[in-house]
Structure 1
Amino acid sequence: MTTLTQLAGALPGAQCFGEATLTGLEYDSRAVAAGALFVAVVGERFDGHNFLADVVARGAAALVVERAEAVPAGVPYLLVKSCREALAPLACAFWGNPTERLNLAGVTGTNGKTSTMRLMDAIARAAGETTGTIGTLGATVGETALPHDRTTPESPDLQRLFAEMLAAGATSATMEVASHALVMGRTAGCTFDIAAFTNLTQDHLDFHKTMEAYEAAKGMLFRDYAPRVAVLNTDDAAGARYAASNTAQQTLTYSPSGQAGADIWPVDVQLAVDSLRFTAKTPLGDVVVRLGFGGTFQIGNVLAAIGYGVARGFSPETIAAGLAACPPVPGRFHPVQAGQDFAVLVDYAHTPDGVENVLKAARPLTPGRLITVFGCGGDRDRTKRPIMGRLARELSDIAIATSDNPRTEDPERILDDVTAGMAPPAPTSEGAQVYREVNRRKAIALAVGMAKQGDTIVIAGKGHEDYQIIGHTKHPFSDQDVAREEIEKCLSH
Structure 2
Amino acid sequence: MDTMLASELISKLKFKEVENFTDFEVALVTQDTREVVADSIFIAIAGHTVDGHAFVDQALQSGAKLIIAQKPIKVGVPVVYVENTYKAMAILSSAFYNYPSQKLQVIGVTGTNGKTTVTHMIDAIFRDQGQKTGLIGTMYRRIGDEVLKTNNTTPDIITLQRTLAKMATVNVSEVAMEVSSVALIQGRVWGVDFDVAVFTNFSQDHLDYHKTMANYAHAKSLLFAQLGNSYGGKEKVAVFNLDDPMSKKFMQDTPAQVLTYGIDSPAMIRAENIDIHSQGTDFDLVVFKQRYHLHVKTVGLFNVYNLLAAFGAAYVSGIATEDIISALTKFPGVKGRLQLLSHKQVSVIVDYAHTPDGLLNALETINDFAKGKVYCVVGCGGDRDHDKRPKMAQIAVANSDLAVFTSDNPRTEDPQAIIDDMLKGVEAGTAKVIVDRSQAIRWALEQAQPGDVVLIAGKGHEDYQIIGKQKYHFDDVEEVTNYFKQA
Shorter-chain TM-score tier: over 0.9
Cα distance, 1:288 vs. partner? 4.1
CA distance in 2, matches of 1:329, 1:71: 51
The reply on whether 1:376 has 2:373 as its aligned counterpart is: no
Counterpart-to-counterpart distance in 1, 2:291 and 2:65: 57
CA displacement 1:273-307 (0-9 Å, x = unmatched): 34222221113834543322222210111000111
Equivalent position to 1:258, from 259, 264, 267: 264
Q: Quote the residue 1:470 is aligned against.
A: 467
Task: Name the stretch that deviates more: 369-378 or 283-292.
Answer: 283-292
Q: Report the alpha carbon displacement of residue 270 of structure 1 after superposing the two structures with TM.
A: 2.5
Which residue does the alignment assign to 1:461? 458
Q: Which amino acid is the alignment partner of residue 436 of structure 1?
A: V
Secondary structure (helix, strand or coil) at the match of 1:240 reads helix
Q: Any conservation in 2 of the 1:340–1:487 contact (CA below 8 Å)?
A: no
- Distance 1:207-1:245 versus aligned 2 partners, 3 A rule: same
Could you tell me which of 247, 250, 274 is aligned with 1:239? 247
CA deviation digits over 1:90-146, x for unaligned, max 9?
110110000111111000001000000111111222333211110011111222213
Normalising by structure 1, we get a TM-score of: 0.94
Partner AA of 1:279 in structure 2: D
Deviation at 1:76, TM superposition (A): 1.7
1:33 to 12, 33, 37: 37
2:426 is matched with 422
Q: Which amino acid aligns with 1:10?
A: K
- Once the two structures are superposed, residues 40-72 of structure 1 have per-residue CA deviations (whole angstroms, 9 ceiling, x without a partner) of 11111110010111110011121111123x141
Partner of 1:428: none
Task: Describe the shift of the 1:2–1:273 C-alpha distance in structure 2 as closer, same or farther (beyond 3 A).
Answer: farther
* Contact 1:372–1:392, Cα closer than 8 Å, also in 2: yes
Q: Which residue identity is paired with 1:160?
A: R
Q: Residues 287 and 319 of structure 1 are in contact (CA less than 8 Å); yes or no, is this contact kept in structure 2?
A: no
Corresponding residue for residue 341 of structure 1: 345
Give CA-to-partner distance per residue, 1:305-358, whole Å, 9 cap, x none: 111122112111111122123332010111123x33311000000000000000
Q: Given the alignment of the two structures, is residue 62 of structure 1 paired with residue 59 of structure 2, yes or no?
A: no
Unaligned runs of 5+ in 1: 425-431
Measured in 2, the distance between the counterparts of 1:93 and 1:362 equals 49
Distance 1:446 1:327 in 2: 29
Q: Counterpart amino acid of 1:278?
A: F
Which residue matches 1:327? 332
Q: Which residue number in structure 1 is paired with residue 216 of structure 2?
A: 214
Aligned residue among 134, 140, 149 for 1:138: 140
CA contact (8 A) 1:377 1:403 kept: yes
SS at match of 2:64: coil
Q: Does the residue aligned with 1:31 lie in a helix, a strand or coil?
A: coil
Task: Indicate how the Cα distance of structure 1 residues 321 and 71 shifts in structure 2: closer, same or farther if over 3 A, else same.
Answer: farther
Q: Is the 8 A contact 1:118 1:326 kept in 2?
A: no
8 Å CA contact 1:20–1:76 kept in 2: the answer is no
After TM superposition, list the pairs within 5 Å mapping 1:423-442 onto structure 2. Answer: 423=427, 433-442=430-439
1:85 aligns with 2:110: no
Query: Match of 1:241, as an amino acid?
Result: K
Counterpart residue number, 1:176: 178
Alpha carbons of structure 1 residues 219 and 405: separation in structure 2 relative to 1, 3 Å: same
Question: Quick one: which amino acid aligns to residue 90 of structure 1?
Answer: L
Whole-angstrom distance in 2 between the partners of 1:433 and 1:452: 20
* Distance in 2 of aligned mates of 1:53 and 1:91: 22
In structure 2, C-alpha distance between the alignment counterparts of 1:226 and 1:247, rounded to whole Å: 7
Shift of 1:400: 0.6
Measure the CA separation in 1 of the matches of 2:149 and 2:447. Answer: 39
Q: Which moved more, 1:288-297 or 1:147-156?
A: 288-297
Q: Deviations over 1:258-281 (max 9, x none)?
A: 32x211110222323342222211
**SS at 2:7 equivalent:** helix
Is the aligned partner of 1:303 residue 2:308?
A: yes
SS in 2 for 1:486: helix
Counterpart contact for 1:264–1:280, Cα < 8 Å: yes
Once structures 1 and 2 are overlaid, which stretch shifts more, 325-334 or 182-191?
325-334
- 1:469 partner SS: strand
Task: Look up the SS of the partner of 1:90 in the other structure.
Answer: helix
Whichever residue aligns with residue 145 of structure 1, its letter is V
Q: What residue number does 1:72 align with?
A: 75
Structure 2 CA distance for partners of 1:71 and 1:128, relative to 1, 3 Å: farther
Q: Does 1:162 align with 2:167?
A: no
Identity %: 38
Tell me the secondary structure at the aligned position of residue 403 of structure 1.
Answer: coil
Q: Which amino acid aligns with 1:84?
A: Y
Q: Which runs of 5+ in 2 are unaligned?
A: 230-235
Q: Partner amino acid for 1:258?
A: D
Q: Give the equivalent residue in structure 1 for 2:280.
A: 275
Q: Secondary structure at the match of 1:29?
A: coil
Letter of the 1:470 partner, please give it: I
What is the total number of aligned residue pairs between the two structures? 477
What is the root-mean-square deviation in Å for CA atoms of aligned residues? Answer: 1.6
More displaced, 126-135 or 401-410? 126-135
Name 1:230's counterpart in structure 2: 238
Question: Match of 1:429?
Answer: none
Q: Compared with structure 1, are the counterparts of its residues 300 and 94 closer, same or farther at alpha carbon in structure 2 (3 Å cutoff)? A: same
- SS of the equivalent of 1:30 reads coil
Shift in alpha-carbon separation, 1:284–1:8, aligned structure 2, 3 A: farther
The change in CA–CA distance for 1:83 and 1:453 in structure 2 (over 3 A counts) is same
Identify the residue that residue 294 of structure 1 maps to in structure 2: 299
Distance in 1 between residues matched to 2:86 and 2:292, nearest whole Å: 44
